[in-house]
Amino acid sequence: MLQWRTYARVMALPAPNPDRTCLVTGASSGIGEEIAGQLAGRGLGVTLVARSEAKLQALAEQLATRHGVRAEVIVADLTDETSRNRIAEVIDDRGLQVNVLVNNAGFSTMGPVSRSDPAAEVAMVRTDVEAVAHLCSIFLPGMVERRSGAVLNVASTAAFQPLPGQAGYGACKAFVLSYSHALRGELRSTGVTVTVLCPGPVETGFAKAAGISDAEAAEAMPRFMWVPAGAVAKAGVDGMDANRAVVIPGMANRVSAAAGWLSPRSVLVPMVAKRHPSLHKWAAVRAAPAGCPRLSSLRAPLRRLRFALCNA
């Protein structure tokens, strides 16, 4: 019993320390903003990373005032390797060490790959995959050397199945899930933990921003599967503190992830393709006769669908 208690204490979130910080990417809104608030609420200093300086500064001031923690801001474009390297340089210049890394930043393209924007597809892979691996390789050595640290990688329930209509996004999140499991195996007995957070649909206004109506979103994903961003963030931080390997907020999403993982692809993939709202819109475009007014009315939402900010 004593041995179990020691293990549990070592594997929990690191204790607050004035020269340590929790690095949170994609912290300007949504799940990332909520995770930063959860960490600051536990007395941990935070370093907020995103491209929107004004939003980050406002959040940093709010967290510092409310929780009395050191809240730093670093503006960075995670699609750019030089910008990612600069994050480590700035943290070092400020006399800080990263003891919690939250790889939350990510976005999704939508629609069929055959009609995709190549630049957007590459940017998605650089943000959702390359940045995760790069930041882990930068900050994990220090955590292992200090024998203390925690990593929270944000994936999605899309990681458990192919996702026609968001093919690249689903594949990116499958990488994050597999990568996190592998890291966890490598880091056993080092004092460093790895948790992967796999939310389902999240209430952050994503559907509206992507050009999908509430009715279309509800048809593809029933309302009982949707979870508020704050609840997702709390589940992720609680899971990281408890050294859980995988966190899937919401019972319905846990069932859905298990079904997606176990279902034969020959049955699952056509079913998903039939229900995905972005593929519905492209099908309508293909079916529209030349000069049809319906075609022009769909162009604007389809452009938003091709490069939409994603929750996870």
Tokens representing 112 are 């069929």
Whole-number Å distance between alpha carbons of 93 and 183: 28
Burial class (CB in 10 A: 0-12, 13-18, 19+), 42: middle
Strand partners, 228: 203
Q: Which of 139, 169, 175, 282 is catalytic?
A: 169
Does the annotation count 169 as an active-site position?
yes
Q: What angle do CA 223, 33, 308 make, to 5 degrees?
A: 60
* Residue 50 backbone phi and psi in degrees, to 5: -170, -175
What single DSSP character describes residue 289? P
- Biggest distance spanned by C-alpha atoms of the chain: 75
Residue with tokens 């704050």: 230
Whole-number Å distance between alpha carbons of 76 and 85: 10
Residue among 224, 176, 173, 206 at smallest CA distance from 277: 206
Give me the active site residues, please.
169
